[in-house]
Structure 1
Amino acid sequence: MEDAIEQLALPQPEIVTPTSTAAIPSSSPPDWVRLQKALAVEAEHGFNDLVGKQSRFSEFLAQSLQQAPEILPSRDRSRWQEMAGQFTNYSDLSFAQRQHLVADTRRFLYQVRQTCERTNQSSGAENGLAALEPKPKPPKTAPLAESQRAISPDEPLTYLPGIGPKNAERLAKLGLYTVRDLLFYYPRDHIDYARQVQIRDLEAGETVTLVGTVKRCTCFNSPRNAKLTIFELVVRDRSGQIKLSRFFAGNRYRNRGWQEQQKRLYPPGVVIAASGLVKQSKYGMTLEDPEIEVLDHSGSSIESVIVGRVVPIYSLTEGVGADLVRKAVIAALPAATRLDDPLPEPLQKQYELTGLAEAIAHIHFPPDSAALDMARRRLVFDEFFYLQLGLLKRRQSQRQTQASAILAPTGQLIDQLYELLPFQLTGAQQRVINDILNDLQQPAPMNRLVQGDVGSGKTVVAVVAVLAAIQAGYQAALMAPTEVLAEQHYRKLVSWFNLMHLPVELLTGSTKTAKRRQIHAQLQTGELPLLVGTHALIEDPVTFQRLGLVVIDEQHRFGVQQRARLQQKGVNGIPHVLTMTATPIPRTLALTLHGDLDVSQIDELPPGRKPIQTTALTASDRTQAYELIRRQVAQGRQVYVVLPLVDESEKLDLKSAIEEHQRLQEQIFPEFQIGLLHGRMTSAEKEEAINQFRDNQTQILVSTTVVEVGVDVPNATVMLIEHAERFGLSQLHQLRGRVGRGADQAFCLLMSSSKAETARQRLKVLEQSQDGFFISEMDMRFRGPGEVLGTRQSGLPDFALASLVEDQAVLEVAREAAEKAIAKDATLDRWPLMQAELEYRYQRLMGGAIFT
């Protein structure tokens, strides 16, 4: 097997840049491939001046462009130096200016490269300015015609037969500059034109494709819904006429410029293909949310490359038609055979993967659906495989880092805790504790994530780890995302630690200056073994004498840099890190986000917990909901009412916390005391509201989602969630976990105003299940992984094809393959092609920098 693998070790372009930032001498050839990849990665990730291991994108470009090739004409040399200066000031440019600069630089570099190559070939000089890829020697006879010459994947698109400079400029609007760019510009969908039907033959319930001519195109704002924009096409063929509609929600679509642009894309007379599910409307047959594609120019016949086969549908932009992209792809496909396949043949055979060249050809123009499935599986495998390789290599690197703290698994403090606990640990808790204590005995720092449902007992597990550090003579830190949660942890820890005569302090943004100085001093002398806090823990004055363990609760609410800064507070080596989350995520997400961590799951709740009775309600059920609340409060119980907003919103017809608090107090429950809690209150106001509710001075607490974590009142038995359809399933499950923490039967009422079937199906999941892992899996299927995690800071890699919902089986296989490769050779030195591909793909997927 090794021989077969090593035979694939063909030369690869250098990807990792030098560690030195010294000026590039003029005699050195520009690394065209690496420069273009750096520009491509920056464009793909929003022109944010990405930060690499050694420099920023702008620094790398400014340094790389410092010395222009001497072979260039003076005009091009001046332009080269001008661009270097522009990248020096890149941080001061607007988004649009950055966008134009990156695009202009890509075009300019390709033009310059062609100049250098032609000059070098004509002169026969070997001065290092030839392209990175070896060029075939020119034949002694007349040169090959453009259509006969073998095209290299890294050549500019202008070299493709039938493309030329003008079309190459149009394709550059899509970020396509090289043949390789085009080959890996995957279709967003495919249409099977072999299954065409005429308009008169449409039958409801079928998925079909129809081809016709646009008779009329309109795009306008809905007169009934201010946030809705309606796009309509009237299409006809020889058999009849049909109206197709698409709906766009959001202010950006109300812009007249955008609407006019849509109309320009589909002028009367243009031939289009529309694909979708046929349904009966009050206007007759139509296609539900159709995929629409312009096939050719107005009045032209459909090209044979489209008719009767599976046709790729590409993402387009104004001025770049589908016909041009397909034409360019067809011209580029022969170059796919010159792509080096980084996956060893034995690995391809073991996992039944098609070759790279065949996969690229068939993802664009598959002969049938089976070939398309095989092509997609191979390319999805590649995306997952290199991500997992990168994560596993990162974990390998972490394990090779020596930690100063080797902690004993047993000791007096841990034994004392077990004696103090008024309950027995569950089997799941004990299993996870064993995982942690085993990690703490290793010389490499622990990096473990503990997932556990609401109420599964993660805090006790973390306390065992903390005591293991303290009894070994080290300090520990516990960081939570909110003051409410940090204070809850502090109260629980104080109740245990006081009995063991161990000091513990709380540090938040509200901590007084004198107390803060006292805590800083005690940390530096080692008097304080445990500090609980919020982001205040990572402020510069906080310094530990011997930090041995870092515990981070609700870790998904912290950024990577924040977690790393707390870990760096240890001055005597790298501390162990234990992260926890009460928001279980599906295994596919865990592998994607935390593939470099060891993951433990507390998948068992303490005995005696009664399932929370969960019911989805509509407005007509509100009276019954209020009667249940009234009965529960009369019996001495307490109630949460949760709303999605703080103040009344003019844009959304939602109840606000402030308005609802006033309404409930004055009109619905005047006989009860009702409290208010929301994120805009000061820390002191929040603490007072929580304490009043905890002490039963207020029987009903109206709150926003600030109550999601950190409020622990066992006497609360009812949670009413208004506008439940506005929340994700995992968040609803988190909120539901605030009740049912005592021995009494608890109720969760999901009030929804939505009539959508999808909304009802989502809430039904919560009615039927109490399993947080199952609920998170269903949440991901309904909303997608980005929405489940929060798109703004999800940390999800940017896949071109792979779907964490649809491709879970491929991810599992890719993980297995990556683990085997790392076990065989953690350096990947025996597979240089795979190693080089990893450098590029992993950095691209994770938003990293190819310019480091």
Structure 2
Amino acid sequence: MATLADRLDHLLGRKTADALADSFGMTTVEDLLRHYPHRYATQGAELGDSQPVEGQHVTIIARVAKADEVRMKSRPGTRLAVVLESDRQKIDVTFFNPHKVKYNIKPGVRGMFSGTVKYFRDKWSLAHPSYIILPEPRGPEIGGAAPRPARVRGAGALAGMARSAQGDGGIDMSIFDRALIPMYPATRDVESWTVMRCVRQILDQLETVDDPLPDWVRREHGLIGLDEALRRIHLPDDRDDVTAARERLRFDEAAAVQLVLARRRHDVAVRTAPACPHRSGGIADEFDRRLPFELTAGQLAVADEIAADLAGDHPMNRLLQGEVGSGKTIVALRAMLQVIDAGHQCALLAPTEVLAAQHARSLTKMLGDLAAAGELGAHELATKVTLVTGSMGTARKRQALLDVVSGESGLVIGTHALIQQGVEFHDLGLVVVDEQHRFGVEQRDVLRNRGRDGASPHVLVMTATPIPRTIAMTVLGDLEVSTLRELPRGRSPITSRVVPAKVHPSWVARAWERIGEEVAAGRQAYVVCSRIGDGDSDEDADLVDVDEAETTGGRRGKGAPPETKSVLQQFDELAGGPLAHLRVGLLHGRLPADEKDAVMRDFAAGDIDVLVCTTVVEVGVDVPNATVMVIVDADRFGVSQLHQLRGRVGRGGHAGLCLLVTDSKPGAPAMARLEAVAATTDGFALAQLDLQQRREGDVLGVAQSGTTSTLRMLSLVDDVEVISAAQAFARAVTDRDPRLEEHPGLARMVSAALDTERVAYLEKS
């Protein structure tokens, strides 16, 4: 007998086990049984008068009525034209290698045929389907089982299934008697029928599986036992079996993720952090006194949540999400000043040098003499703002690092350079991560462990990419979530329009005229391109998220002709053409850091009218005078990225305009996506649309890992109730047993449902 923990090589033999390990990473019985069928072939269910849908994969049992070798009209050679009879229908089937099949496909024989439906002149057919010739069923007057054929007569997947069931006594055709035949994810080296053979062999030896879920959970949610679910998912008798098994296994996956996150929440809760209560009369109060505007009700409510967290002696672990321009930065700055008042340092981590430098400038400007500690004219409560980036000169960087390690600097802003070796803080009390999706968890984890005397700093992560509820619960379930939905007073509306370049080329010319009109009125514009130059695609990608690049096709194959307009091409065309009368600047990720900073300074100062750039301006860049953005090849960007980009305009007193230029055809999916973006500025609705279109991908890696999804059953689009129920269960369990020492079955379930790399990822996130 076998258990879930047993090694496959002891049960299947080393050759087969090695193939499964090489193709799928399977080493144990549980690994194999968690490799679920991705679809089921029906056992030739009756067609009646029904007409299958074009493109549908069907499996039918039929008898050959005709089989004629005919000469092809459009090319040399012959084909086998077959007519099948099944129920009340006649189905045309074509085989393009008649010499390989005509000895099996003869009038009168009975077989199973599996292929994709094609329609021609309102009649459906199959082209070169996989097939297996079936033995004639014995009549009731003869009795007994049908004889086992000695050899397989067929080709393709169905023949492969039959060969996998071949033994000394002939071929066991009983698999084809099943109403549902499991079809598995496969590789060239391990076909679906090989997996099926191994699964059947294991299930025949498997002991009853102990259920890790408590009885009360199964009763509450109407779930079948794990043993039953594993057997039903692989060898179902009907669709109800599949549904019941999937419901149980889906809950297992959700519970596994939530158990990891619940344990993480507990671990953070028991750590110590520097308590930073509000200090009356400190730098935070002085900053508030000087504010030239009133904070929104939403900003004040979120600020109160953060202030309460900071006052505690356990680490804050909070996500601050909000629409583009909702005022997250001012909320974060007030939190940092509260920590500085308590005598500790703050680190603000930005994803790009452009954004880090802008944060340093904008925060210094907002603080005024409160940021001038050590300088003449500084306020008595002042702190010092220090920028640390990888491209800083040696002398400047040495001084910056000295200010950080000595505690001279209370507010440290930087890129990934902040987490490199050699950067030491005097007393780090708060880490603020801007655009958290741009950082790997390992990078954030380094700063989390930089507290003084074993204490952990508080952590506030921010994103302007709204996160659907299921993603927040599944990937960020260990974080408390604060949301800013309203825009501060003074923010102007943004109008978006799709410009179909091939259908209306004159509209593109009008877009450049529109930029000229805005500049004539004293305002500025962006023109955004998806790539830098004409080199290989991997080098052209400029800070485009992996998930967005995969979604949009923004990365071209090596040696492929350019499908998009590069920022260098666009700059040359505009500066020498329709915008030649304007001051046109160029910005992209490959420029030297000092040149990028100079370009952004000139644009912010109004010395550049039009900035032709890549997605380096996607997040955080704030030029209130910019009112127009033209996004070239907009179909190359994902929904969330388009929403982020257009948030760079309309940040002042004038309305914003975003023009989405595309070569996509009307009615195409890419055009539909752009029209959806143009139709709303609700980032939360667009985030849900983005999730539906991308599906969840590898949500556990959150685009920070290139591997495929580890969620086999759970859908972050459809299963919000399941995830919510699993979260409540996981928190209830870990509140009493945080290390799952009293629940070894649940601990094993975590390891089984999530590979060890993902568990480590989540535990560090």
The TM-score with structure 1 as length reference comes to 0.71
Task: Give the direction of change, closer, same or farther, for the CA distance of 1:352–1:824 in structure 2 (3 Å limit).
Answer: farther
Other-structure match for 1:187: 37
8 Å Cα contact 1:451/1:599 also seen in 2 = yes
User: Which residue in 1 is equivalent to 2:58?
Assistant: 209
Task: Indicate whether 1:596 and 2:478 are aligned.
Answer: yes
CA gap of 1:298–1:585, structure 2 versus 1, over 3 A, is closer
**For 1:201-280, what aligned pairs fall within 5 Å after superposition?**
202=51, 204=53, 207=56, 209-211=58-60, 237-238=84-85, 239-242=90-93, 274=114, 280=119
State whether structure 2 residue 675 is matched by structure 1 residue 802: no
What secondary structure, in the 3-state scheme, does the structure 1 residue paired with 2:452 have? coil
Tell whether the 8 Å contact from 1:151 to 1:159 is kept in structure 2 after alignment. no
1:693 corresponding residue in structure 2: 603
Q: Do the aligned partners of 2:44 and 2:112 also contact (CA within 8 Å) in 1? A: no
Tell me: CA distance 1:206–1:536, structure 2 relative to 1, closer, same or farther (3 Å).
Answer: closer
Whether the 8 Å contact between 1:672 and 1:700 is mirrored in structure 2 is yes
Q: Does the 8 Å contact 2:6/2:29 carry over to 1? A: yes
CA deviation digits over 1:609-651, x for unaligned, max 9?
Answer: 3331111121113233233223222222211111111113653
3-state SS of 1:793 partner: coil
Query: For residue 543 of structure 1, what is the amino acid of its counterpart?
Result: E
1:436-492 Cα shifts (integer Å, max 9, x gaps) = 111111111112121122101111111111111111111212121111111111112
Is 1:544 matched with 2:455?
A: no
In structure 2, C-alpha distance between the alignment counterparts of 1:233 and 1:690, rounded to whole Å: 68
Q: How much does 1:682 deviate?
A: 0.7
Q: Deviations over 1:369-398 (max 9, x none)?
A: 232122111111111101111111111011
Show the counterpart of 2:518.
632
Deviation, 1:173, is 5.8
Structure 1 residue identity aligned to 2:573: R
Correspondence for 1:106:
none
Give the letter aligned to residue 188 of structure 1.
H
Structure 2 distance, partners of 1:490, 1:434, is 25
> Which residue does the alignment assign to 1:831?
743
TM-score normalized by structure 2? 0.78
In the other structure, the counterpart of 2:151 is: none
Residue 742 (1) aligns with residue 652 (2):
yes
Secondary structure of the corresponding residue to residue 218 of structure 2: helix
Change (3 A) 1:632 1:165: closer
| Pairs within 5 Å for 1:660-675 | 660-675=570-585
Matched, 1:759 2:759: no
1:144-183 correspondence to structure 2 within 5 Å = 150-155=1-6, 174-175=23-24, 178-183=28-33
Q: Which amino acid aligns with 1:576?
A: H
Q: Which residue identity is paired with 1:590? A: A
What's the counterpart of residue 529 of structure 1?
A: 410
Query: Take 1:518 and 1:169, find their aligned partners in 2: how far apart are those partners?
Result: 56
- Match of 1:468? 338
The one-letter code of the counterpart of 2:283 is: L
Judged with a 3 Å threshold, the aligned counterparts in structure 2 of structure 1 residues 810 and 164 are, in CA distance, closer, same or farther, namely same
Describe the superposition over 1:382-428 as per-residue Cα deviations: whole angstroms up to 9, x where unpaired.
Answer: 11101111111111011111123443365532222222222221222
CA contact (8 A) 2:430 2:460 kept: yes
SS in 2 for 1:617: strand
The match for 2:158 among 289, 295, 300 is 295
Shift of 1:295: 1.1
Residue 377 of structure 1 corresponds to which residue in structure 2?
A: 247
Whether contact under 8 Å (2:42, 2:59) holds in the other structure is no
> Is the alpha carbon distance of 1:329 and 1:519 closer, same or farther for their aligned partners in structure 2, counting shifts above 3 Å?
closer
The whole-number CA distance in structure 1 between the counterparts of 2:685 and 2:616 is 24
The CA deviation at 1:319 is 5.4
The one-letter code sitting in structure 2 at the alignment partner of 1:529 is G
Quick one: which amino acid aligns to residue 670 of structure 2?
A
Corresponding residue SS for 1:698? coil
Cα separation, partners in 2 of 1:275 and 1:589, compared to 1, 3 Å: farther
Q: 1:657 to 1:236 in 2, by over 3 A?
A: farther
Aligned twin of 1:328: 198
| Percent identity for Structure 1 against Structure 2 | 38
Question: Quick check: 2:41–2:59 contact (8 Å CA) kept in 1?
Answer: no
CA distance in 2, matches of 1:532, 1:339: 53
- Flag the 1:834–1:790 CA change in 2: closer, same or farther, 3 A: closer
Name 2:630's counterpart in structure 1: 720
Q: Match of 2:641?
A: 731
- Deviation track 1:569-590 (CA, whole Å, cap 9, x = no partner) reads 3333221111111222212222
Give, in whole Å, the separation in 1 of the partners of 2:736 and 2:128.
49
Deviation, 1:514, is 2.6
1:358/1:233 CA distance change after superposition, 3 Å: farther
**1:647 paired residue among 533, 539, 551:** 533
In structure 2, distance between residues paired with 1:582 and 1:625: 27
Secondary structure of 1:741's partner? Answer: coil
Alpha carbons 1:386, 1:841 under 8 Å: kept: yes
1:486-635 counterparts in 2 under 5 A? 486-500=356-370, 501=379, 502=382, 503-572=384-453, 573-619=455-501, 620=504, 621-635=507-521
Deviations 1:262-304 (A, max 9, x none): xxx999979875466x564689746899999711259999934
Distance 1:592 1:296 in 2: 41
* CA distance, structure 2, for counterparts of residue 155 and residue 827 of structure 1: 24
Shifted more, 164-173 versus 504-513: the winner is 164-173
| Equivalenced residues, count | 664
Extract unaligned runs of 5+ from structure 1. Answer: 1-149, 217-231, 246-264
Task: State the secondary structure of the residue aligned to 1:338.
Answer: coil
**Partner-residue secondary structure (3-state), 1:477:** strand
Aligned to 1:225: none
- Distance, in Å, in 1 between the alignment partners of 2:400 and 2:39 is 59
C-alpha separation between the residues in 2 aligned to 1:721 and 1:233?
53
- Rounded to whole Å, the distance in 2 between the matches of 1:338 and 1:586 is 39
Q: Which residues of structure 2 form unaligned runs of 5+?
A: 69-78, 106-110, 132-155, 164-170, 371-378, 536-559
> Is 1:362 matched with 2:232?
yes
1:254 alignment partner in structure 2: none
Pairwise CA RMSD of aligned residues?
Answer: 3.8
Task: Provide the residue aligned with 1:315 in structure 2.
Answer: 185
Aligned match of 2:693 in 772, 782, 785? 782
SS of residue matched to 1:786: coil
Q: Which amino acid aligns with 1:556?
A: H
Aligned equivalents of 2:721, 2:102: Cα separation in 1: 44
Counterpart CA distance in 1 for 2:478 and 2:576 is: 54
